[in-house]
Structure 1
Amino acid sequence: MYIFLNGKLIPKEEARISPFDHGFLYGLGVFETIRTYEGRPFLLENHMARLQQGLHEMQIDCPITTEDALEIITALCEKNKLPHSSVRLNISAGEGAMGPQVEPFSQPTIMAFQRPVVPSSEMTEKEAVVLNLRRNTPETEFRMKSHHYFNNIAAKREVGADPAKEGLFLTKEGYVAEGVVSNIFWVKAGTLFTPALDTGILNGITRMFLLKRAKELQIPVEEGLYTLAELMTADEIFFTNSVQEIAPVYLLDGKTFPGKEGQMTKLLYEDYQRWT
């Protein structure tokens, strides 16, 4: 398997980064996980816009463009012969002196690697497991897709390794937040609901896309603060992320839901497949 590292495609076994990279020392780095279909990245411009927002927040000067990212991803897909894949584009601050650095970083470490994803013609159902661990608050005003990931890892350890289960975070106030690696949506009486960004969740790329498509399809949408009790009254529930796309929930806290048989879930999934 080949990866991209600072301008070169190299075998993954040869990859090295400096121990003084502040992405390693202090968690100063952001990443995007991008799904490719037939060698083409989906919603790349949206991913790059969020990446640049995180880089700006961390004061990492990295003028990587959407065109640059497309070139990198295309080269990886061709070199590894993986047209259907998940690509992680990772940018860390680069080398710096010991201790927190006030000045911007100007020589970041740019890395991208991929893993295969088998295309599926149907949705994969999930059991949603309410986590005891609460969602931590963002480091700054908004949640970045950053190296600060231990809250997610600790949550995954709590729910276990079963890929058919997705942990569901609540905020410390008890509001529904998001999954370990996903955003959550539900349907009630024909309206699509999802937690507001005020809960401190990540503004997922698939989340943004589905909200846009729902409005274009004239589906009523509401974002807000919702309790677990409100979620339990839903007609349909599903998780979203760039790799798993739309993953319907069939079981939550002992209560069954329609899963992949949910009418609006199916409608949105079919619409999503047309775009991918």
Structure 2
Amino acid sequence: MYCYFDGQFMPISEVSISPMDHGFLYGVGFFETFRTYEGYIIDKELHEERMNRALKDVRISLDYSFDEVERWCRRLNEEEGGRDGYFRWNVYAGEEGIGMAADRYDHPHHLLLRKPLQRTERGTSKRGFILEHRRNTPESSMRHKSFNFLNNVKARQEVTSLATEEGILLNADGFVTEGVTSNIFWVKDCVVYTPSRETGLLEGTLRHRLLQLARQHYEVEVGCYEPSDLLNADEVWVTNAVQELVPLHEIDHVSFLGKEGPVYSDLHEQYTEYVKERVSEQC
């Protein structure tokens, strides 16, 4: 398995990061996950903006662009026969020794990992359930995609298989927040609903894009919602940049339309066309 690390392509076994790196000692680091489509990252500018917000917030200096990241992805795809892949782009704060850094991190490490992309038939639905574990409060004014991922790890431990199930997190106030690694949407009487940033969710790049697409054709409401609002829905689906839109056919034994949902089907088709257009623009 090859990766990209600090300017070089190498086997993952040759990567060396100091145990004194604050990414290890204090969880000071951030990551982005995405897939490629014919070698291109869809909405790479949104991934770049989210990463840069996080780096700026904790004063990590890193000179890069997602155009470069995209080129590195294509190179790693070439190592695997040119097939598209699933990627995780990591930025570690750097070595500062024991004790928290007082000012800024000027020598971070960056690591791009690739794994095979799991092919799932579009419209394959999952069973959902509300988790016992609650979403914690963000460490900053906005939740970053940081190495401090214990909250999601605890949530994942309640889910037998993410291939067939989706756990749904509530926050400390009992409001619907997000999935284990996804954002959540639902429809009631042709109105599209999704939790707001104020619930403490991580704002996904596909969530951002889907809200734009949905607002062109549907009434959209973003806010704080009780589990009863979700369970009273007609359609429910979850989203992330790798799996796209995944319909849920059931939550806590309450049934939904799943892949037959007309709004889900329409928005998934719109997103598919959007991806095709973005790839065509790049080719």
- Equivalent residue for 1:223? 222
Does structure 2 conserve the Cα–Cα contact (< 8 Å) formed by 1:40 and 1:83?
A: no
* 1:42-61 → structure 2 map (5 Å cutoff): 42-61=42-61
Matches of 1:30 and 1:83, distance apart in 2:
26
- Equivalent residue for 1:244? 243
- Equivalent residue for 2:281? none
Return the offset for 1:82: 4.6
Does structure 2 conserve the Cα–Cα contact (< 8 Å) formed by 1:84 and 1:119?
A: no
Does structure 2 conserve the Cα–Cα contact (< 8 Å) formed by 1:18 and 1:95?
A: yes
Deviations 1:169-213 (A, max 9, x none): 001111000000000000011111000000010010010010011
Whether 1:80 and 2:80 are equivalent positions in the alignment is yes
Return the offset for 1:162: 5.0
Q: Which runs of 5+ in 1 are unaligned?
A: none
* 1:60-79 → structure 2 map (5 Å cutoff): 60-79=60-79
- Equivalent residue for 1:176? 176
Return the offset for 1:118: 3.9
Return the offset for 1:159: 2.0
Amino acid paired to 1:257: F
Matches of 2:81 and 2:27, distance apart in 1:
32
- Equivalent residue for 1:117? 117
Whether 1:189 and 2:200 are equivalent positions in the alignment is no
Matches of 2:118 and 2:155, distance apart in 1:
26
- Equivalent residue for 1:269? 268
Matches of 1:221 and 1:83, distance apart in 2:
36
Deviations 1:60-81 (A, max 9, x none): 1112112221222122112233
Deviations 1:248-274 (A, max 9, x none): 010101111110000000001111111
Amino acid paired to 1:73: C
Change (3 A) 1:256 1:82: farther
Q: SS of the residue aligned with 2:30?
A: strand
Matches of 1:115 and 1:16, distance apart in 2:
19
Q: Percent identity?
A: 38
Does structure 2 conserve the Cα–Cα contact (< 8 Å) formed by 1:175 and 1:227?
A: yes
- Equivalent residue for 2:165? 165
- Equivalent residue for 2:131? 131
- Cα RMSD, aligned residues only: 1.2
Deviations 1:230-259 (A, max 9, x none): 111101000000111001010101111110
Deviates most, 146-155 or 95-104: 95-104
Return the offset for 1:34: 1.4
Matches of 2:215 and 2:85, distance apart in 1:
29
After TM superposition, the score normalised by the length of structure 2 is 0.94
Amino acid paired to 1:142: M
Does structure 1 conserve the Cα–Cα contact (< 8 Å) formed by 2:2 and 2:9?
A: yes
Change (3 A) 1:138 1:82: farther
- Equivalent residue for 1:26? 26
Matches of 1:180 and 1:150, distance apart in 2:
11
Matches of 2:250 and 2:214, distance apart in 1:
24
Amino acid paired to 2:12: K
After TM superposition, the score normalised by the length of structure 1 is 0.96
Matches of 1:246 and 1:43, distance apart in 2:
15
Return the offset for 1:42: 1.4
Matches of 1:119 and 1:156, distance apart in 2:
21
